[in-house]
Chains A and B, each alone.
Chain A
Amino acid sequence: MKSDPTFLRDLHVGAEFDAQLCMNCGTCTALCPLGIELMPRKLFRRALLGDREGVLGQKDTIYSCLLCRLCEANCPAGVHIAENVRTLRVALNRELFGLAEA
Chain B
Amino acid sequence: MTGRRIGVVVCQCGGNISDYVDTEKVRETIEKDADVVSAQVQMFACSDAAQQDAIREIREKKLDGVVVCSCSPKLHTATFRAMAERAGLNPYQYTQVNIREQDSWAHTHDRGGATQKAIHLARAGVARTALSEPLEKIRVETLPAVVVVGGGVAGLRAALELSEMGISVHLVERAEELGGHVARWGNLFPNDKVGRELVHGLISAVRARENIAVYLGAELLEKSGRLGAFQVKLRTRSKETVELTVGSIVVATGFEPYAPQAGEFGYGLPGVVTLPEFKELLATGARPLAYQGRPVRSIAYVYCVGSRESPDRSGRTYCSRYCCSATSHIATVVNGLDPSVRQYHLFRDIRTYGRYEALYEKALRGGSVYLRYSEEDPPSVTSSDGQLVVKVKDRLLAGEEVELRPDLVVLVTGMTPRENSELTQALKLPVGKDGFFREVHVKLRPVETVMDGIFIVGAAQGPKNVAESVASALAGVSKAGALLMKGYVNLDPLVAAVDPNLCLWCEECLKACPYGAVRPVEAGDKQIAEVSSLLCKGEGACVPACPKQAISVRGYTNEQVTAMIDALAQEAA
Contacts and interface: CB of A to CB of B under 8 A. Distances in A.
B242 interface: no
Nearest to A2: B403
Given A2-B403, A3-B403, A49 B364 contact: no
A45 interface: yes
Nearest to A48: B369
Contacts of A51: 402
B394 interface: yes
B301 to A, nearest CB: 14
Interface in A1-30: 1-3, 5-6, 8-9, 15, 18, 20-21, 24
B340 A9 contact: yes
A50 B342 contact: yes
Contact of B365 (A6, A21, A42): A21
Closest 4 CB pairs of A and B: A5-B298, A5-B342, A3-B404, A2-B403
A27 to B, nearest CB: 15
Contacts of A42: 397
A41 B396 CA distance: 9
A58 to B, nearest CB: 13
B336 interface: no
A2 B396 CA distance: 16
A24 B372 CA distance: 12
Contacts of B400: 1
Nearest to B397: A45
B547 interface: no
A45 B403 contact: no
A2 to B, nearest CB: 5
B365 A3 contact: no
Given A18-B365, A20-B364, A20-B370, 19 more contacts: A1-B397, A1-B400, A2-B403, A3-B402, A3-B404, A3-B405, A5-B297, A5-B405, A15-B339, A15-B367, A20-B365, A20-B368, A21-B364, A41-B396, A42-B397, A48-B369, A49-B397, A50-B342, A51-B402
Interface of A: 1-3, 5-6, 8-9, 15, 18, 20-21, 24, 41-42, 45-46, 48-51
A87 to B, nearest CB: 13
B481 interface: no
A50 B396 CA distance: 14
A75 to B, nearest CB: 14
A68 B386 CA distance: 47
Interface in B370-409: 370-371, 394, 396-397, 400-406
Contact of A1 (B365, B367, B368, B402): B402
B336 to A, nearest CB: 13
B394 A49 contact: yes
Nearest to A17: B367
A49 B365 contact: no
Nearest to B363: A20
Contact of B406 (A1, A5, A21, A24): A5
A24 B403 contact: no
A24 B369 CA distance: 13
Interface string B283-297: 000000000000001
Interface string B266-305: 0000000000000000000000000000000110000000
B364 to A, nearest CB: 5
